[in-house]
Amino acid sequence: MTPVKRIPFSRPYPLNAPRLAKGFEEIVETRWYTKGKNVKRLEEALVSYLDVDHAIATGTGSSALLIGLRSYADRIGVESITVPAFTFDSVRYTIEFAGIKDIRYGDVDPRTWTLVDQEYPTDIVMGMDTFGNKSDIKETETERLFFDAAQSFGAEISRDRGAIEIISFAGGKVITTGGEGGAIVTNDGVLAAECRHLRDLFSKMPEACAFIGVSMMDHIDDILKQKAEIAKLYRKKIPLQFQEITATNNYIVGCLMDGRDEFIAENRERVDFRDFYREPLKSPEITDMLSKRMLCLPNGPDVIPNIDFICALVNRSLEG
């Protein structure tokens, strides 16, 4: 059966509107809009859930990355960095804003789509958790590791955390704080203090956003269970090569499809399929292949009742 409305790629987990309204009313009545109890509650929830010593909530995920990189670079004197080529252009801009000009791009593993695990000559190496799949780089010393964990909140930890991890709470992420938001997590108290100082200068998270984040955290187990169910059904029903999972939150379910661009165009009015990173930062062999063939499947709460329809569209295309 064809859905009446276009199926969106992803929407946030639905929250209880009356409960949110009550929380917003309290914020307005107290006129405590930043650095209040909700930001503290969210940071405490992150520390507990992630089992880290420090969590610093920020206004956006990009500012978390910028602050984390700047603090880290100031501490150890960073002049060069290696990042995966298979990512957004905004990552390059953020690194440049942090003052690191020598940016080198590594290819990704053809199975996991995360940065190839090898020794890199740069001052630091930034692993990225592509589509929620945890990057694991064992060939680089821990003190030189920085992880962009923007997409992987809730994924099981199977690696050393490195010096710093950053998280995004943008609208499409597993947990959102109302459209934008981020966090820096670390076990290093000195780095945490510097990150908090910079955060307070230019990227504080509003109390209203933090309250949404706290409310989302109450449902994290249900959110992850739902996403895992969607990913399992896709992998069962669609005979394509999917991203190989190491440890993931199933944030995005990606597979490889020949003729992807034509398929997306043909179904644009019915389903919001995506082709993230179609213009990578550089084009080494595997990154180039992924950018041309990688198809991201809808995975929000609206998908579950329509998943058979989505799979049928994909499979019909494969039959020619």
- Count Cα neighbours of 73 within 13 Å in the Cβ-side half-sphere: 20
Are 252 and 276 in contact, with CB atoms under 8 Å apart? Answer: yes
Q: Domains plus CATH for the chain?
A: 17-106+113-217 (3.40.640.10), 220-318 (3.90.1150.10)
Residues 6+ positions from 92 with CB-CB distance below 8 Å? 83, 103, 281
- pLDDT digit string, tens, across residues 162-185: 889 999 999 999 999 998 999 999
Residues 6+ positions from 251 with CB-CB distance below 8 Å? 131, 132, 151, 152, 173, 174, 227, 299
Model confidence at 86: pLDDT above 80: yes
Quick one: average pLDDT of 106-128? 96
Could you tell me how far CA 83 lies from the centroid of its own chain?
15
Q: Concatenate the DSSP letters of all residues of 184-219 into one string.
A: EEES-HHHHHHHHHHHHHH-PPBHHHHHHHHHHHTT
For the entire predicted model, the pTM comes to 0.94
- pLDDT digit string, tens, across residues 194-218: 999 999 999 999 999 999 999 999 9
